[in-house]
Amino acid sequence: MKNILFDFFNYFVFFYTSLLAISFVILSFLSFISLKTRRKYYLESHVRQVLNESPYTPGVSIIAPAFNEEVTIVDNVHSLLGMEYPKFEVVIINDGSTDRTLEKLIEHFDLVEVPYAYMEQIKTAPYKRTLKSTNPEYSTLIVIDKVNGGTKADASNAGINVASYPYFICTDVDCILDKYALYRVIWPVVSSDKPVIAVSGTMCMANGCVIENGRIVDVKAPRSLIPLFQNLEYMRSFLIGKMGWSAINAMPNVSGGFGLFDRSVVIAAGGYDGTSFAEDMELITRMVGYMCDFARPYRIVQIPDTCCWTEGPPNLKILNRQRTRWGRGLIQTLNVHKRMIFNRTYKHTGLVILPYTVIFEFLAPLIEIGGFSFFLYLAFTGGVNWHTMWIIFLTIYLFCQFISLIVIAYDYYIGSLYKRGYEYIWIVMASLLEPFIYHPFITLFSLKGYYNYIVSRDFKWGKMVRKGFSKNKTNANNEAS
């Protein structure tokens, strides 16, 4: 019986790992197709020139919830208002801040309370008031003051209620957007033959970058370990994972840090779920559900251009909080939408993405910890064939490095994020160390998230410690860490 169990486990792990490796290779290939298609036809200066003059250009509302962001709020709103695009507005939601966030906005942007006809199309925590600037220079700024709803989702919903354009971008107020991000993100919407309901832009870590007046002027890899690992993880996720899924219209998720959405579809699908711990993934799953239920064609697209820089968790404590929440959100979303799994009605999402997420994302930490415990047991009982173990270990390790190098190669292919070659040495270093230092923590945090969900432990959002990107020339890494 013991031997049968051992054999079963061996074969299970072998097939599981092989399938995972094959899926990565397929995704890399699909991603390359997406990147190639994107690079072929896109002449950015021409697109900007034509969109600037066209009455057909769709308007975009930038929605940025703010909770206790007094250090960064003024610079970041300036940065958002300085975006280049012919038709856009900036909606800031003060989500019941207890510091001077709102006062700083009022003082700096000459805001006054206006009798705004707020129409609650999506339910949120109580709305208090709307503020607009008396200065015509800031006529595109609108600030919503509301009672704290406890989640970013609730604040974003208030922003969606106020947004006046057909598309909106949901971002964090501390994110730094590329000046031309709106042109890049609207391109798939205007150039697609099918209605595009969401577009995801690539995000990177701002830790390490040089920032001037709320704009990234020099892109550098983070110099501290945790953000560096995260940067590699983001590159892998956006350039291989999401670009690959995007090629077959099976995007699992549009990041909460930067994503463009069709406002009418979001409202029809019910907006962000304020009770979700992974509101971005949950919203996309629900939007897909809505479109498939009504048999409407749709596309969700990932673009390779870096549109947004965000300050990543600088230490393990904050990373723990973030990843525990993601783990909890993953199991919650899968539980809520379990009827979609293996359901033909939901096309790629039901037949590919959700089963893939269950098998290779949800189960992965459980299998990893199970496998590691089993290995320890065998090591102590003398059941390990060390020669074979080293071969398997090296194969898997080199495969991981191979994927990381593919990411770097793709980054070069699309026009390299980092302008200095040696920045990539940092990324390669991170890739060499990641499986031993970073990955075990991520696995543990995910398991902790599952556990918290199962025992229904109380959840507090906590505060992401930010020092902010100063108005003058700053190295974000020095400040964040």
Partner 1 sequence: MVVLFFLAYFFLSFYILLGVILRKKEKKNTQTAYDRFYEPIVEIALNPETLRLNEIIASIKPYSRKKIGRNHKKTQRIAFMLSQIKGKFGDQINKVNFQNIQTAFGIPQFLERELLFGSDNRKILALKFIESLDAYVSEAILIRFLYHHNVELRRSARCAHMWISQTSPFRFFEEDLSTKLNLWDMIEMHYIINNRKTKGLPIPNLGKWANESIEEDMKVFFINEIKLLGFHDNCEILFKMIHTQSWRVRNVVIAALGALKCQKTEEKLIEMYPLQPEHIKQTIIQSISLIHSGDAELFLMSAYETAENQHTKLLSLDKLYNYSEKGKYLFEDLRKKALYCNDRILFEHVKCPFINSV
Which residues of this chain interact with partner 1, rule CB under 8 A? 40-41, 43, 45-46, 48-58, 112, 114-119, 132-134, 139, 164, 189-193, 391, 394-395, 398-399, 401-402, 405-406, 408-409, 412, 416, 419, 421, 424
- Residue with smaller CB distance to partner 1, 282 or 411: 411
Which residue, 49 or 345, is less far from partner 1 as judged by CB? 49
- Within 10 A of 439 (CB to CB), how many other CB atoms are there? 15
Closer CB to partner 1, 394 or 437, in the complex: 394
Residue whose CB is less far from partner 1, 418 or 450: 418
Q: In this structure, what token pair is assigned to residue 47?
A: 């697109």
Bridge partners of 66? 94
Q: DSSP of 187-215, one letter per residue?
A: HHHHH-SSPEEEEEEEEEE-TT-EEETTE
Tokens 């089993």 sit at which residue? 374
Instruction: Tell me how far apart the alpha carbons of residues 220 and 395 are, in angstroms, rounded to a whole number.
Output: 31
DSSP code at position 19: H
Cβ(142)–Cβ(90) under 8 Å? yes
Q: Are 251 and 200 in contact (CB under 8 A)?
A: yes
Nearer to partner 1, 322 or 401 (CB): 401
Cα three-residue angle 441-444-449, rounded to 5 degrees: 125
The distance of closest approach from Cβ of residue 142 to partner 1 in the complex, given in angstroms and rounded to an integer, is 9
Which of residues 114 and 358 has its CB atom nearest to partner 1 in the complex? 114
- Our CB check for partner 1 shows the closer of 93 and 417 to be 417
DSSP 242: I
- By C-beta, is 144 or 330 nearer to partner 1? 144
Give whichever of 195 and 462 is closer to partner 1, judged by the CB atom: 195
CB of residue 278 vs partner 1: minimum separation in angstroms? 31
- Give the nearest distance from C-beta 43 to partner 1 in angstroms: 5
Q: Please report how close the Cβ of residue 329 comes to partner 1 at its closest, in angstroms.
A: 34
Cβ 167 to partner 1 shortest distance, Å: 12
Tell the smallest beta-carbon distance from residue 199 to partner 1 (Å).
14
- Of the pair 181, 354, the CB lying nearest partner 1 is at 181
Q: Where are the beta strands (DSSP E) in 74-134?
A: 88-95, 111-114, 127-133
- Closest distance to partner 1 from the beta carbon of 234 (Å): 19
The DSSP code sequence of 304-340 is: EEEEEEE----SHHHHHHHHHHHHHHHHHHHHHTGGG
Q: Please give the Cα distance from 92 to 95 (Å, whole number).
A: 9
Nearest approach in angstroms of CB 288 to partner 1 is 21
Alpha-carbon distances, residue 205 vs 31, 81, 275, 284 (angstroms): 21, 21, 27, 23
Q: Beta strand pairing status for 215-218 and 141-146?
A: unpaired
Closer CB to partner 1, residue 139 or residue 373? 139
CB of 70 to partner 1, least distance (A): 24
CB of residue 122 vs partner 1: minimum separation in angstroms? 14
Q: How far apart are CA 197 and CA 301, in angstroms?
A: 9
Ranges of H-type helices in 110-212:
152-162, 181-191
**Amino acid, res. 241:** G
Count other Cβ atoms within 10 Å, centred on residue 363: 13
Contact indicator for 322, 233 with CB cutoff of 8 Å: no
Please report how close the Cβ of residue 400 comes to partner 1 at its closest, in angstroms.
Answer: 10
Which residue from 32, 53, 13 is spatially nearest to 367, judged by alpha carbons? 13
CB of 317 to partner 1, least distance (A): 35
Q: Which two tokens stand for residue 248?
A: 């077959």
Rounded distance between C-alpha atoms, residue 75 and residue 472, angstroms: 10
CB nearer to partner 1: give 134 or 385: 134
* Cβ pair 202, 416 in contact under 8 A: no
At 66 the three-state DSSP class reads: strand
Q: What backbone torsions phi and psi does residue 91 show, to the nearest 5 degrees? A: -110, 115
